[in-house]
Amino acid sequence: MQFGVLELLMLAGSLGLFIYGMKVLSEGLQKVAGRRLRLVVKAMTGNRFRGVLTGFTTTAIVQYSSVTTVMVVSFVNAGLLNLRQSIPVIMGANIGTTVKALVFSWVGLSALPLTSVALPLIGLSFPLLFMRRSSVRGITEFLMGTALLFMGLDLLKEHVPVLAPETLAFLRGVGDMGPLSWVLFVIVGAAMAILVQSSSVALALTMVLCDNGTIGFEMAAAIVLGENIGTTLAANLAALVGNAWAKRAARAHFLFNLFGVAWALLLFTPYLYGLDQLVTYLHGVSPYADPGAVKWGLSYLHISFNILNTALFIQAIPFLERAVTWMVPTRSTDDTVYRLEHIEDALAGLSPELSLLEARKEIVRFGKLTHTMLGHVRVLLVEKDAREREALLDRIARGEETTDRIEVEVGKYLTKVGSEVRSEEISARIQALLAIVGDLERVADIFFQMSKALERKSGDRLWFTPEQRMNLMEMLDLLERAFTIMERNLEAEAEAVRLDEAVEVEQLINQKRDLLRRTHLKSIEAGDYNIRSGLIYNDLFSSCEKVGDHLINVSEALAGEV
The answer to whether 150 and 119 are in contact (CB under 8 A) is no
Q: What is the DSSP string of 27-75?
A: HHHHHH--HHHHHHHHHHTSSHHHHHHHHHHHHHHHS-HHHHHHHHHHH
Q: Is 232 helix (H, G, I), strand (E, B) or coil?
A: coil
Instruction: Please indicate, yes or no, whether the overall pTM of this predicted structure exceeds 0.75.
Output: no
- pLDDT, position 520: 85
The neighbour count for residue 364, using CB atoms within 10 Å, is 14
Closest Cα partner for 235 from 245, 250, 224, 246?
250
If residue 3 lies in a helix (H) or strand (E), which one and from where to where?
none
> For residue 454, what are the CA distances in angstroms to 122, 158, 323, 528?
55, 59, 34, 20
Q: Is 433 helix (H, G, I), strand (E, B) or coil?
A: helix
Sign of the C-alpha dihedral computed for residues 84, 373, 414 and 486 taken in this order = positive
- pLDDT, position 466: 85
DSSP letter at 4 equals -
- pLDDT, position 336: 47
- pLDDT, position 480: 93
Report the interhelical angle of 244-266 vs 294-313 (nearest 10°).
120
Q: What ranges do the domains of the chain cover?
A: 5-327, 342-558
Residues of the chain with pLDDT under 50: 103-111, 332-336, 345-349
CA terminus-to-terminus distance, the chain: 76
Q: Is 286 helix (H, G, I), strand (E, B) or coil?
A: coil
- pLDDT, position 334: 45
Burial of 309 by CB count in 10 Å (0-12 exposed, 13-18 middle, 19+ buried)?
Answer: buried
**How far apart (Å, rounded) are the C-alpha atoms in residues 242 and 245?**
8
The answer to whether 450 and 377 are in contact (CB under 8 A) is yes
**How far apart (Å, rounded) are the C-alpha atoms in residues 211 and 6?**
34
The neighbour count for residue 330, using CB atoms within 10 Å, is 13
- pLDDT, position 161: 57
> For residue 84, what are the CA distances in angstroms to 294, 328, 551?
37, 15, 33
CATH of domain 342-558: 1.20.58.220
The answer to whether 211 and 290 are in contact (CB under 8 A) is no
The neighbour count for residue 437, using CB atoms within 10 Å, is 26
Report phi then psi at 99, rounded to 5: -95, -15
CA 455 to chain centre: 33
- pLDDT, position 401: 84
**How far apart (Å, rounded) are the C-alpha atoms in residues 55 and 235?**
14
